[in-house]
Amino acid sequence: MCRKKLVQGKSQMYFTKLELGSPPREFEVLFDTGSDLSWVACSFCADCPRSSGLRIPINFYDITSSQTAELVSCSHHKCNGLGATCSKTNQCNYHVKYGDGDEVDGYYVSDVIHFDMLTSQFNSSEFIVFGCTENMSGLLTTNNLAFSGIVGFGPGQLSVLSQLSSRASTPKVFSHCLRGDRGAGGVLALGEVIEPRIIYTPLIGSRHYNVELESISVDGKVLPVDRKTFRDVLVDSGTTLAYLPEVALTAFITAVNIAIPKSVTTGIGAGRQIYEVPSFISMANAFPPVSLNFPGGVSMLLQEYLLNTSFFFKFYLPTPANGVTTWEIAFQKSQGPVTIFGDIILKDKIIEYDLARQRLGWPTRDCTLYISISFYSEYMIESSLSSSSIPLVSSSLRFL
């Protein structure tokens, strides 16, 4: 799972409601396209928080309370995923360390997942393999960030999508549409999107959702950056912001600064470049358009690439003058030669992950509208905001 620290930030979290076991028990879990492993906290997890500052319920999975639960042995074909190990009792265990230093370990379980279908053609429940976490460390143990688990929608064989599609319970394609306005949520759908204006770029690699980026344009002008700088771009719903190598980020900020009108002033706050925008200027007139350019002449116009600092950094920056709003570019410097597109890039458009055809698609559209899909289920999702500042940038979705 890819999760990047934003030391002075607040995280906007999206969660999915999952029902596991027989009888079904409900869990609020973090949705992540950057992870294959799904896990929920075990009932006897000593380090797991019992309450959450995210204002979501914390529930625990009890294998003894489910009539359909089974332990996964070391000989099971799923006992070869991320961090899998074998115990002396032939029990398949796991230990995973995430990018921000958090760690979880536990054992694999096979049990029923329940979901609502729009058609009776397909089963409304299936067995999946997931983790029962009995130990965790890092920020996961703090109450202000607590949640009941993670549901992995990555491309690997252990992800929920791959397990369900292998049994023809769902297609190997899903999409999400996140609304850009804070707290508004969005939609997650399983199935192929029926959208005539959707355009695609190839997915490359098999471990993550990677795409090839040729260039970035600011105000219609391509940045003078070698395309090799971007390498394979990671598309990750588990990251809120976007991350560019330093040379690309410097060129991007320079191009924005050249294009902004004189009435927009720049400054430094909390070590970051800040833009002060007077109320008589609209955001469309204050900042230049930005597009991401992919092979084949395909481009993605960014609807939002700025953060309102009154929300993200209000405890660290001076209060702006009356009639002035302060903004920061949502692109951050990556750690090393890696480019990551998080939710700030993915908002206000359908993002379709088509593993069957190995492609990523999008049109720009209103996420309050119904997403038409060829078959299978659609779920509404809501957002949950942390009530305190936490040094982690991540996001998720909510099945209903």
This model's pTM is above 0.75: yes
Query: What pLDDT does 233 receive?
Result: 93
Instruction: Examine the pLDDT at 13 and tell me if it is beyond 50.
Output: yes
pLDDT tens digits for range 201-240: 999 987 899 999 999 999 999 999 999 998 789 998 878 8
In this structure, are residues 72 and 129 in contact, taking their beta carbons and an 8 Å threshold? yes
- Active site amino acids: 32, 236
Instruction: Examine the pLDDT at 61 and tell me if it is beyond 90.
Output: yes
Amino acid at 293: N
Query: What pLDDT does 382 receive?
Result: 40
Q: Which residues of 152-167 are buried (b: 16+ CB within 10 A; e: fewer)?
A: bbbbbebbbbbbbbee
User: pLDDT grade, residue 371 (50/70/90)?
Assistant: low
In this structure, are residues 296 and 348 in contact, taking their beta carbons and an 8 Å threshold? no
Query: What pLDDT does 94 receive?
Result: 95
Instruction: Examine the pLDDT at 386 and tell me if it is beyond 60.
Output: no
pLDDT tens digits for range 236-280: 887 888 999 999 999 999 999 999 999 999 887 766 778 999 989
Closest by Cα among 274, 306, 307, 267 to 290: 306
Instruction: Give 293's strand partners.
Output: 215, 299
Within 10 angstroms of residue 366's Cβ, the number of other Cβ atoms is 9
CA distances from 167 to 71, 206, 295 (A): 20, 20, 34
Query: What pLDDT does 178 receive?
Result: 77
Q: Cβ neighbours of residue 284 under 8 Å, at least 6 residues apart?
A: none
Instruction: Examine the pLDDT at 392 and tell me if it is beyond 70.
Output: no
Phi and psi angles of residue 145, each rounded to the nearest 5 degrees, phi first: -115, 10
In the chain, what are the domains?
A: 12-186+381-385 (2.40.70.10), 197-364 (2.40.70.10)
Which residue, chain included where needed, has tokens 């053609």?
121
User: How many degrees, rounded to 5, is the angle at CA 355 between CA 351 and CA 358?
Assistant: 90
Q: What is the mean pLDDT of residues 137-143?
A: 87
Q: Cβ neighbours of residue 274 under 8 Å, at least 6 residues apart?
A: 266, 267, 268, 309, 317, 326, 327, 328
